[in-house]
Amino acid sequence: MSAPSRSAATGPGLRHNAWLIARREYLDRVRTRAFVAATAVLAVVAVGLALAPIGLRYIDRSVVARIGVVAEAEPALTATVIGILDQQLNKVPDGFDPATWQKPYRFETVATEAGGRAAVDQDALAGLVTVTRRPDGGLAFQFITPGSPAGETAVGLQFATFGAAVLEWYDRSPRDGPDPFQMPTFEVVPTKTATSDGTPLDPQTAASRSVLDTILIVLIFVTLTVYGMWVATSVAAEKSTRVMELLISAATPRELLVGKVAGVGGAGLTQYAAILIPATLVVLFQDRIAGLILGPSPMGRDEPLQGLTLPILAAFLLFFLLGFVLYALLYAAAGSLVSRQEDVQQLALPLSLVSMASYIAAVAGIPSVGSTMMVVLSFIPFSSPFVMLSRIMLGRVEPWEVALSVTILAASSIAILGLASRIYATGVVLYGQRPGVRDFFRAARTALR
């Protein structure tokens, strides 16, 4: 059986036919109970992700941070500094009940700087404050920490150590004529980094972003697979009911292909809008929600919440759309080669394996997003929707890298459209056989000739 030919001049054209097919596919999807139920569940999950950083901060506040203090050259100075730091940073802030409020810090004497550094590296201490005296008599403070230099603890210590330097100067100055006060110095020495360019990232932020990145990658993998199978099974269902014979006589294979991908993609966008809109609202009002739940910061200053952000949501949506178009076109071509819905899974298996391999590579590469392998995978069309998202969230990515990745992915989708259209044109008129994976690749080779 050969495919009926149709001149473009005899029909309403690509846009009109594709629009009608897309509208039909869209309405068939969004009206089902399963679609509504899945959307509601995913919306709740997305809101939970947006609120997760607040939960992490709540847990972080319930833990007492152990800070070591050492002044090897002047052991007596260690006790003085500890007393002042404790007084400054552990005072009960306004809005807290003194009877139930827990001190956020516990300052401890450390015998040597080397021992303190080892304790920080082993996570036995949350940080180490070293105190030395400069030749001009002023104090020099260093805060050795696995956290961020802009973190709440580092900023609080900088103010507290200034107060410690003032009081120490006052106590040791002669009463008949105090020595001139020398401004103290304060330096943060980060011990850990979590971004590809070496920018320090505190553990709370790194944990939050890593968990969020993993969940978003899983979400892309699941939705690409599910929506792709929607396209493939829809084509197979139309062939099994002989509806395809009517459709192919009224529209070209490319019109059918574009319409199906657009319709299912529109349903996916509707679902994503219902999921992301409430999550976005939570992101916009995160600080206010944190204030209502957690109350005022013990030190009067809160770090920015590291959860879902608008740039991350935009990147997620962009790579989902481009990735969906790429995979959906191939799923539609695979669905056109079978006559029964039961056979779709067999031909869709290679595509599922490709997306699964990309997903696994992205998740496994989270600890080393700046590695050469991750950079290369972020430019390969089938893996870039997963890997580039990880690099954006956990590493430093130059704007030209994002632009290049998007360009390659979009150009690949256009090239795949031509290939898939030819496979689709051949497959939709094949009946009475159960092609396997080899037949899919044979059809692809034929279409390339």
Say yes or no: 48 and 118 in one domain: no
Judged against a pLDDT cut of 80, whether residue 50 lies above it is answered with no
27 vs 7, which has greater pLDDT? 27
* Residue 178 and residue 304 in one domain: no
pLDDT the model gives residue 51: 77
Same domain, 287 and 336: yes
Query: For residue 110, is it within any domain?
Result: yes
- Domain residues for the domain of 76 are 63-190
Question: How many domains does the chain fold into?
Answer: 2
In this structure, are 440 and 336 located in the same domain? yes
- Residue 238 domain-assigned? yes
In a domain, 2, yes or no: no
Q: Given 190, 221, 246, which residue is the final one in a domain? A: 190
114 and 208 part of one domain: no
The yes-or-no verdict on residue 242 having pLDDT over 80 is no
pLDDT band at 417 (very low <50, low <70, confident <90, very high): confident
How large is the greatest C-alpha to C-alpha distance in the chain, in angstroms?
A: 111
Give me the pLDDT at residue 439, please: 54
Same domain, 181 and 247: no
Can you tell me the distance from the alpha carbon of 224 to that of 383, in angstroms, rounded to the nearest whole number? 12
Q: What is the CATH number of the domain that holds 95?
A: 3.40.190
For the whole model, what pTM was predicted?
0.60
The reply to whether 343 falls in a domain is: yes
pLDDT, tens digit, for every residue of 159-203? 888 888 888 887 777 655 556 778 888 888 877 644 444 444 555
Encoding tokens for residue 231?
A: 């396209």
Mean pLDDT of 350-372: 84
**pLDDT value at 301 more than 70:** no
- For residue range 114-170, list pLDDT tens digits in order: 888 888 888 788 889 999 988 888 889 989 887 666 567 777 888 888 888 888 887
Same domain for 27 and 72, yes or no, is no
Q: What is the CA radius of gyration of the chain?
A: 30
The pLDDT value recorded for residue 433 is 54
In a domain, 1, yes or no: no
Residue 3 lies in a domain: no
Confidence at residue 406, expressed as pLDDT on a 0 to 100 scale: 93
**pLDDT mean across residues, the chain:** 76
Same domain, 125 and 147: yes
For 295-302, which contacts have Cβ atoms below 8 Å and span 24 or more sequence positions?
A: 295/95, 295/96, 296/93, 296/94, 296/95, 296/96, 297/93, 297/152, 298/61, 298/93, 298/96, 298/104, 299/89, 299/93, 299/104, 299/152, 299/155, 299/156, 300/93, 301/152, 301/155, 301/156, 302/57, 302/152
Last residue of a domain, one of 142, 158, 190: 190
Say whether pLDDT at 241 is over 50.
yes
Out of 190, 218, 237, a domain closes at 190
252 and 179 part of one domain: no
94 shares a domain with 230: no
* The pLDDT value given to residue 330: 84
Report pLDDT digits (tens) over 77-102: 888 888 888 888 887 766 666 666 67
Q: How confident is the model at residue 56 (pLDDT cuts 50, 70, 90)?
A: low
Q: For residue 435, is it within any domain?
A: yes
Residue 254 domain-assigned (yes or no) = yes
Domain identity same for 333 and 318: yes
- Do 215 and 349 share a domain, yes or no? yes
Query: pLDDT band for position 409 (50/70/90)?
Result: very high
